[in-house]
Amino acid sequence: MSQETEIVERMFADFNRGGFEAMGWAVHPQVECVPFAGWPGPSIYRGLDGWSALAAEWTDNFDEYGFDFDHVVPIQGGALALVTSRGRIRGEHQWMSMPLAAMMRDFEDGRARYVRWFRSWDDAKAAAGLQQ
């Protein structure tokens, strides 16, 4: 297992204990974060302020939110996390879930400089150059 895959696994475990802020130790101060296609906000968030803004926009609609970690795949320059997002929409009782993937690349001093989210594991694998 590469250092990057270990970092990404730990990031998602930390998220489930403390939210996006708990993942921040592994995000470079000059990170470029690309939300999944169809995201209603900006197409790119930059820096730690951008990371925080995306995190707030993402989770503010939920009373509870987390990731079920499936596995991480090493890719060129980083790792691809395949997860299932699960949450309870604010004011609702029913839970929703959907697959998500996070491509994390260009690590510097153990922190990702690039993070891109996908709503499809297949799309994420294709973007990472992995065979389907």
Parallel, antiparallel, or unpaired: how do β-strands 62-75 and 45-46 relate?
A: unpaired
Residue 131 has a pLDDT of: 73
Q: Which CATH number fits domain 3-125: 3.40.50.2000, 3.10.450.50, 3.30.1490.190, 3.40.718.10?
A: 3.10.450.50
Residue 132 has a pLDDT of: 61
Residue 21 has a pLDDT of: 83
Tens digit of each residue's pLDDT, the chain (132 residues)? 689 999 999 998 998 888 888 888 999 999 999 999 999 999 999 999 999 999 889 888 899 988 998 999 999 999 999 999 999 999 999 899 999 999 999 999 999 999 999 999 999 999 999 976
